Amino acid sequence: MCGIVGYVGSREAQPLLLDSLKRLEYRGYDSSGLAVVGASLQLFKSEGEIAVLEGKMPRMQGSIGIAHTRWATQGKPTTVNAHPLTDCAGKIAIVHNGIISNFMELRESMTRDGHTFTSDTDSEVFAHLVESEYKGDLVQAVMKAVSRIEGTYAFAVVAEGRDEIVATRRESPLVVGLGDGENFIASDVTALLKYTNRMVYLEDAEVVKVTKASVTVFDASGNVVPKTAQKIMWNLDDAEKGGYPHFMLKEIFEQPTAIHDSLLGRIESLDTEPFFQGTPYSSVKIVACGTSYHAGLVGKYIIEELSKIPTTLQISSEYRYSPVSRENPLIVLITQSGETSDTLAAAREARKRGNKTIAIANVMGSAITREVDHVIYTRAGPEIGVAATKTFVTQLIALYILAMDLGTQNRTLSALAKRSVIGQLRNLPRAVQDVLNKSSEIEELAKKYASARDMFFIGRNINYPIAMEGALKTKEISYIHGEGFPAGELKHGPLALLSKDSPVVAIAAKDHTYEKMLANISEVSARGSPVIAIGYEGDTDLQKFADDVIYIREIPPLFSPVPIIVALQLWSYYLAKERGCAIDKPRNIAKTVTVE
Ligand code: AGP
């Protein structure tokens, strides 16, 4: 996720672009830059936050320009990789939000054709594609260039000597703002509301030519598409959250896209670009904290199922002080921020012990990425809400990919089984969307139970960690005391806590533990606790035992944690909303824990 803005009009573009860009900083903040068209094409960029760019940039004269704030997904967060990026001659500048999955092939073939690349980004290929297609008509050049791109994108392009911005999108957002004698483009309306509230939304593959006097939208075949402007009534705060009342809810709803982006171009290349070429591992140890630890707990099931490699876990703050074993496991460190001090210390300790290390991280260039041998980035984009949601789900995606890779290397995953896993992964965005479509139903149910003081979450097998994660989300944002248990443990203590005032959320996916789970639910019910079950559509048995049921579409057990946690994220969100809690910034906790 990155932020793009563009301006064409009669004012000086530079201050306006900078001002608008700051409103998009929540979309990414590891580098930023501007290109302004005046007498020539001027460009300035810097790593770091927009304030760093602002502090050192020279005056740029001109009333046409584009700007970008970056959340790195390909290429380190350095000045060289910051956008805008240019063609060989420095006459065409582009900004990009998205992922170009076929950039390697394009880069190789364009290098053979004589193009010189200056960055490590996927985006730069687009500047060179436009350069090679440009024959005096920028719209035509952009259309031809995007036809060669695979992946997701919002692009904006300016060129020296041209009084226009040409922009296009596919699966990444882009709006056009209409002014009087001036027009704008941006990744979202937040950036533009200070200047206009009349917006034109672009559909996938549409291309727009924006001048100060006109906005013309074309379809992929070059036909003009008539568009009606929409009036936006949001205030700035609403707009930054995309109209959602909280970042957490926005981030929960971004999960289908986050999953899609995290898979893009990766599962196809596992055979040709494995992470661990020729390195057979006999064991894996996952080290992490909080929600990332819960992702690791699910990861144990995934790795053992797909690669048959025994996997253990340890909380980061414990790992450092644990005795050195005789085994030499692959150490997998999971951390959204890449800055959690205990996880960083664990990474250093693992290397000291001579272990190979791999990090699953969301923030490119974060500290952990310099401490490990290999990184798998989750492509969730920045997560602002303190409660981890989309980063948890994309950590699971990274673990499926890692497990497939280990299984392939260890020859424990057949080609047929791998194809089936890939098919299931591709279905996940839809499975998650199905759950999101039930948000009003989940909200109504949460209202009914929001006055509880204690709430217990039970699950079995791969959904036992999901019960723990549901409990963590609930306690973290709603301040209801939540505990997650393996359902089989109830009789060994927790049953003593149950009463009519302690609702139990029971995960009852149809897997080999289902019958046992039904028995647990009836056991809980017999103790007088209300039961809210999460089960599969068409499972009429559940209604006989549970007070309420959240139904989701059936999915094979190995993949069930993904839609089920989304239901529990919504559940905890609506509990907290009903209780009037500070959802995005819960008391006493920080997004990133940089002290031990
Ligand atoms: C979960 O909602 C929390 N924000 C917290 O448990 C978090 O997962 C933990 O602090 C680890 O953070 P990391 O992934 O950035 O290392």
Q: Which residues contact 216 (CB under 8 A, 6 or more apart)?
A: 208, 209, 224
Distance, in Å, from the CA atom of 150 to the CA atom of 125, rounded to the nearest integer, reads 12
Judge whether residue 478 has pLDDT over 70: yes
Looking at CATH, the fold of the domain delimited by 3-238 is given as Glutamine Phosphoribosylpyrophosphate, subunit 1, domain 1 (3.60.20)
Query: Given the CA of residue 388, which atom of ligand 1 is nearest to it?
Result: 2
Sketch the domain layout of the chain as residue ranges: 3-238, 241-434, 438-580
User: Encoding tokens for residue 163?
Assistant: 């009084």
Distance, CA of 1 to CA of 230 (rounded, Å): 24
* Domain 3-238 shares a fold with domain 241-434: no
Catalytic residue list contains 591? yes
Cα 552 to ligand 1 centroid, rounded to whole Å: 27
Asked whether 104 lines ligand 1 (CB < 6 A), one says no
- The CATH architecture annotation of domain 438-580 reads 3-Layer(aba) Sandwich (3.40)
CA 31 to centroid of chain Cα atoms: 18
For atom 16 of ligand 1, the residue with the nearest CA is 335
For 74-108, give the DSSP string.
SS-SSTTTSSPEE-TTS-EEEEEEEEETTHHHHHH
Percent with pLDDT over 90 in the chain: 80
Query: pLDDT tens, 75-99?
Result: 888 999 999 999 999 999 999 999 9
337 lines ligand 1 (CB under 6 A): yes
Choice from 248, 286, 289, 364 to test ligand 1 binding pocket (greatest atom count within 8 A of CB): 289
* Catalytic-role residue among 76, 144, 418, 591: 591
Residue located nearest, by CA, to atom 5 of ligand 1: 290
Question: Which of the given ranges, 310-319, 381-390, 583-592, has the highest pLDDT on average?
Answer: 310-319
Rounded to the nearest angstrom, the distance between the alpha carbon of 387 and the centre of ligand 1 is: 8
Ligand 1 centre distance from Cα of residue 29 (Å) = 20
Model confidence band, residue 62 (pLDDT cutoffs 50, 70, 90): very high
- Class of the CATH domain delimited by 241-434: alpha beta
Highest-scoring range by mean pLDDT, 26-30, 322-326, 351-355, 391-395: 391-395
What pLDDT digit, counting tens, does each position of 162-216 carry?
999 999 999 888 999 999 999 999 998 889 989 999 999 998 999 999 999 999 9
pLDDT tier for residue 242 given thresholds of 50, 70 and 90: confident
User: Residues 212, 9: contact at Cβ < 8 Å?
Assistant: yes
Counts of helices then strands in the chain (DSSP H, E):
18, 24
Q: Which of 490, 532, 535, 498 is nearest to 514 (CA)?
A: 535
Per-residue buried b or exposed e for 236-272, using 16+ beta carbons within 10 Å of the residue's own CB: eebbbbbeeebbbbbbbbbbbbbbbbbbbbbbeebee
Helix-helix angle 415-436:390-409, to 10 degrees: 170
Give me the mean pLDDT over the 289-310 stretch: 97
Is the CB of 291 within 6 Å of ligand 1? yes
Tell me the best of 251, 337, 479, 565 to mutate to test the pocket of ligand 1, counting ligand atoms within 8 Å of each CB and taking the most: 337
pLDDT, one tens digit per residue, over 417-455 is 999 999 999 999 999 999 999 999 999 999 999 999 999
Q: Is the CB of 386 under 6 A from ligand 1?
A: yes
Closest ligand 1 atom, CA of 290? 6
* Separation between Cα atoms, residue 520 and residue 468, nearest integer Å: 17
CB-ligand 1 contact for 20 (6 Å cutoff) = no
**pLDDT of 277:** 60
Position 190 scores a pLDDT of 82
Confidence check: pLDDT of 518 > 90:
yes
Q: What is the mean pLDDT of residues 130-143?
A: 97
Q: Which of 2, 45, 209, 250 is catalytic?
A: 2
* pLDDT tens, position by position, 261-290: 999 888 766 555 556 665 678 899 999 999
366 Cβ below 6 A of ligand 1: no
Are 341 and 367 spatial neighbours (Cβ–Cβ below 8 Å)?
no
Taking the CB of residue 328, how many other CB atoms lie within 10 A of it?
13
Q: Where are the beta strands (DSSP E) in 260-356?
A: 284-288, 311-315, 330-335
Closest atom of ligand 1 to 389 CA is 2
Q: What residue owns the CA closest to ligand 1's atom 4?
A: 387
Mean of all residue pLDDT scores within the chain: 93
192 near 176, Cβ under 8 Å?
no
What values do phi and psi take at 403, rounded to 5?
-65, -40
190 C-beta closer than 6 A to ligand 1: no
pLDDT of 270 reads 57
Categorize the per-residue pLDDT at 327 as very low, low, confident or very high, splitting at 50, 70 and 90. confident
Is 438 noted as a catalytic residue in this protein?
no
Confidence of residue 594 (pLDDT cuts 50, 70, 90): confident
Does 564 have pLDDT greater than 90? yes
Q: Is the whole-model pTM more than 0.85? A: no
